[in-house]
Amino acid sequence: MNCRSEVLEVSVEGRQVEEAMLAVLHTVLLHRSTGKFHYKKEGTYSIGTVGTQDVDCDFIDFTYVRVSSEELDRALRKVVGEFKDALRNSGGDGLGQMSLEFYQKKKSRWPFSDECIPWEVWTVKVHVVALATEQERQSEVDNVFDTGLRDVQPYLYKISFQITDALGTSVTTTMRRLIKDTLAL
């Protein structure tokens, strides 16, 4: 049986997973939804109208179009929420995939149950990447700034002092100065 298959791969941050998946799923379902069939007598039917709705994403700079159906949206959000939780709880490397399968039911006689024959499958492979996280940034901060103070944050600094005797030049101080200068160079 020929079943069409499409595979998409996305790399997103953790907080973008939900919106990315919803965008893909809704877009595919927009194309694979018709209006409601309305049956009349004489065995005819007419097709209702599909409304559309723009949805802005909060974590991705993107807007997708979905069908105007709250029930469908709810169903998708539920599944995507489960997927997101599973991804998060898996720990690991943040790889997962979700597939949207369109199938046709084939009624079979008892005792065999109905068959579901897929005719199109969309698979989305998700790779969760972590961009520069807050923790990394924090450690960098400690290397440059003095974060110990409560109210201000100066650069890391050091103050030293020395007492010079009356002559001003003694062997030890001169030697010390020479060595310091050499090392400083």
> Is 51 a binder of another protein (CB under 8 A)?
yes
Site string for another protein, 10-29 (x = CB under 8 A): -----------------x--
Site string for another protein, 63-82 (x = CB under 8 A): xxx-xxx-------------
**Whole-angstrom distance, CA of residue 90 vs CA of residue 97:** 13
**Whole-angstrom distance, CA of residue 86 vs CA of residue 32:** 27
Site string for another protein, 115-154 (x = CB under 8 A): --x-xx----------------------------------
Query: What single-letter amino acid sits at 88?
Result: R
Smallest distance from another protein to CB 77, Å: 18
**Whole-angstrom distance, CA of residue 164 vs CA of residue 173:** 8
**Whole-angstrom distance, CA of residue 121 vs CA of residue 114:** 19
Q: Residue 147 contacts by C-beta under 8 Å, 6 or more apart in sequence?
A: 141, 153
List interacting residues with another protein (CB under 8 A).
Answer: 2, 4, 27, 30-38, 40, 42-56, 61-65, 67-69, 102, 104-105, 117, 119-120
